[in-house]
Amino acid sequence: MATTEKKKFNVSLLAKVIALAKPYRTVFIFAAVLAVIIAPLSVLRPRLLTVMVDDYIFNYDLIGLGQLALILVGLLLVEFVLEYAFQYSTSWLGQSVIRDLRVRVFRHITSLRLNYFDKTPIGVSTTRTISDIEAINQIFAEGIITMIADMLTVVAVLAMMLYTSWKLTLVCMMTLPFLLLASYIFQKRVRASFQIVRTQLAQMNAFLQERITGMRTVQIFNAEKQEANKFKTINHEYTSANLKSVFYYAIFFPVVDVIAAASLGLMVWYGARGVIGNEVTLGALVAFPIYINMLFRPIRMLADKFNTLQMGLVASERVFGILEQTDKIEENGTLQPERFRGEVAFDRVWFAYNDENYVLKDVSFGIQPGKTLAIVGSTGSGKTTIINLLNRFYDIQKGHIKIDGTDIRAYDLSAMRRRVALVLQDVFLFSGSVFENITMRDSHLTREQVIDAAKMIGAHEFIMRLPGGYDYQVMERGATLSMGQRQLISFVRALVFNPDILILDEATSSIDPESESVIQFAIEKLIAKRTSIIIAHRLTTIRHADNILVLHKGEVQEYGPHEELLKNEDGRYRQLYEMQFLQLAEA
């Protein structure tokens, strides 16, 4: 019963994969028609050889022999053109399908909630987007259509063999059951080994992605040897899985050659007797080795192509698994404001990452347009969660978050995020120029706008000192720039989009004292005349905020201006303030 269900599932999955070719149905039909045409044409060559031997060579008809030879050459040329068109069209079809599918998968991944990335290793998503989708290409390039062509060729060859000599055909087919048995065992074993290969590949990609990204940590803790040993183990398992599949290929193809040789031997033994007894013509004896080769080659390749099809289906199941991820931000909002006034309100907000353990509990506060709110609290108090919710990286379970009096879920997501800028503590810069990192390749932003924004916050001079200035090529994650330089670039990036609401998530916590004054100046320019939310460990950077929100274990403990909060001798803010200044005094 389980096998039947699995078979039905595979057929359904194959239908979904073939449906991907719908935009290219003309090419798909063209390739299928070519497969139908090529099959009967291929068996005409040995048939013409039979006629040449029986009707022209033994009758010394040189003129007819020459004409038939020209027909044979013409047939070869036609086959060449059709085979080229078939191979090119199937390959073009496969590449076109996976090109569209890669874009579709990437767009889908970028639309998922952040908790998908919290749970899924980057290397796994990379494998799905590259290796698995490439395997789907093989379904079109070497899978379904070529399998149909091979099966049609087998049918055409068998029909022509039976027409030429049914007795000789039956003798040759005596080895066919052994070939079918070998093919069945081969495809079953290789399919299982390929599934292990795909799993090991995903694990290797995930391991490499994490270790290369975290190489600084590996080297700091002198863990190169341990990580190398771990990679050696993973690599050994991946190699063993590949060698296992190679082992099955190394056995199967020689077995097929032995079976084909046995079939050829039976044909020669019986055919020679048939020629002597006038039961088989000499032309048939000459053509039958070609028939046998044409028969066994596609049968041998069918087993391999069936595995290719199976692996493509396994890969497609994984890719469709990502596409069927429903963990997306619901985009039902339609409001697309040109600007926000900047009023922000959290109204009795409850939120949990796993729908059970609440990180925020009945949180309420408000920010007036153009004002600055600072959020403080110990690690794990929910500071970063608040800014994640305001950007709708996650959706809340209870309560309301409003901008300008309207629930943020009523806004178009892209339109809302366009008016809200977020500067993180860990600045992520992409490979590319400084200009591209600032504009995020938004074609609407000009170089003049970028330069004006950089000058406004005091970043222009440092950028111009870089080789190439704004065209300086930043390495991955900004490895060639200091923390302060990366932070300044992120400030320019935020300012050039001219947001109405600005969020700074501990933007100065990792900055050295020399850079802090420059960063502080940039912050003052950034928050001027716009609603701002600042999260900071250093309380000296937020004392001029209009209001301060104190969080503790996901609950609001205090809210008000700096001076008022300090008056509460038993308050959490005063404790944090005195603790930090005591540490500074001791230092």
CATH of the domain at 372: 3.40.50.300
Neighbours of 150 (CB within 10 A): 19
Q: Give the angle 552-558-559 at the CA atoms, nearest 5°.
A: 125
Task: Say if residue 312 is in the same domain as residue 361.
Answer: no
Whether 432 contacts 469, CB under 8 Å: no
| Rg of the chain, C-alpha, whole Å | 35
Q: Which helix (H) or strand (E) holds 433?
A: strand 432-433
Whether 51 contacts 163, CB under 8 Å: no
Residue 513 exposed, middle or buried by CB count within 10 Å (0-12, 13-18, 19+) = exposed
The reported pLDDT for the residue numbered 582 is 57
Task: Say if residue 253 is in the same domain as residue 374.
Answer: no
Whether 136 contacts 101, CB under 8 Å: yes
Residue type, 276: I
Neighbours of 191 (CB within 10 A): 18
For residue 465, is it within any domain? no
Q: Which domain holds residue 163?
A: 17-323
Task: Say if residue 246 is in the same domain as residue 387.
Answer: no
Task: Say if residue 379 is in the same domain as residue 318.
Answer: no
The reported pLDDT for the residue numbered 513 is 57
> In the block, which residue shows the tokens 């944090």?
576
For residue 463, is it within any domain? no
- Report residue 69 as tokens: 């030879």
CA-based max dimension of the chain: 121
> In the block, which residue shows the tokens 């795909």?
198
Domain end among 323, 358, 377: 323
Q: Which helix (H) or strand (E) holds 333?
A: none
- Report residue 88 as tokens: 């090119």
For residue 488, is it within any domain? no
Going by C-beta distance under 8 Å and a sequence separation of 6 or more, which residues neighbour residue 154?
Answer: 295, 298, 299, 302
Report the alpha-carbon distance of residue 432 to residue 119 in Å, rounded. Answer: 29
Task: Say if residue 302 is in the same domain as residue 403.
Answer: no
- Kindly report whether the global pTM for this prediction surpasses the value 0.95: no
The reported pLDDT for the residue numbered 343 is 93
Report the alpha-carbon distance of residue 313 to residue 143 in Å, rounded. Answer: 10
The reported pLDDT for the residue numbered 225 is 86
Q: Which of 292, 300, 289, 288 is closest to 255 using CA atoms?
A: 300
Domain end among 323, 357, 375: 323
For residue 444, is it within any domain? no
Task: Say if residue 187 is in the same domain as residue 220.
Answer: yes
CA torsion sign for 50, 254, 39, 165 is positive
Task: Say if residue 352 is in the same domain as residue 289.
Answer: no
Q: Which of 91, 47, 98, 43 is closest to 68 using CA atoms?
A: 47
> In the block, which residue shows the tokens 């900071």?
536
Task: Say if residue 418 is in the same domain as residue 288.
Answer: no
Task: Say if residue 286 is in the same domain as residue 367.
Answer: no
Residue 346 exposed, middle or buried by CB count within 10 Å (0-12, 13-18, 19+) = buried
- Report residue 190 as tokens: 């290789």
Task: Say if residue 290 is in the same domain as residue 402.
Answer: no
Task: Say if residue 386 is in the same domain as residue 275.
Answer: no
For residue 221, is it within any domain? yes
Whether 209 contacts 202, CB under 8 Å: no
Q: Give the angle 474-478-481 at the CA atoms, nearest 5°.
A: 90
Into how many domains does the chain fold?
A: 2
The reported pLDDT for the residue numbered 2 is 38
* CATH number of the domain where residue 244 is located: 1.20.1560.10
Report the alpha-carbon distance of residue 489 to residue 468 in Å, rounded. Answer: 15
For residue 477, is it within any domain? no
Domain end among 256, 291, 323: 323
For residue 2, is it within any domain? no
Task: Say if residue 60 is in the same domain as residue 112.
Answer: yes
Q: What is the pLDDT along the chain (587 residues), one digit of tens a residue?
A: 333 334 443 678 888 888 888 999 999 999 889 888 887 888 888 888 878 877 777 777 777 778 888 888 888 899 899 989 988 998 899 899 989 999 998 888 888 877 777 777 777 778 788 888 888 888 887 777 888 888 888 888 888 888 888 888 888 888 888 888 887 787 777 777 777 887 788 788 888 877 887 787 788 778 888 888 888 998 998 888 888 878 887 888 888 888 888 888 888 888 887 777 777 778 777 888 888 888 887 877 777 777 778 778 878 888 888 888 777 777 788 899 889 999 999 999 999 987 778 999 999 999 999 999 999 888 888 888 998 899 888 888 899 999 999 999 999 988 898 899 888 877 888 888 899 988 988 888 899 999 988 888 888 888 899 899 999 988 776 777 887 888 888 888 888 888 899 888 866 555 555 556 667 777 777 777 789 898 876 666 676 788 999 998 899 999 999 888 888 888 888 888 777 665 544 44
The reported pLDDT for the residue numbered 212 is 80
For residue 435, is it within any domain? no
Backbone φ and ψ of 375, nearest 5°: -115, 125
Going by C-beta distance under 8 Å and a sequence separation of 6 or more, which residues neighbour residue 6?
Answer: none
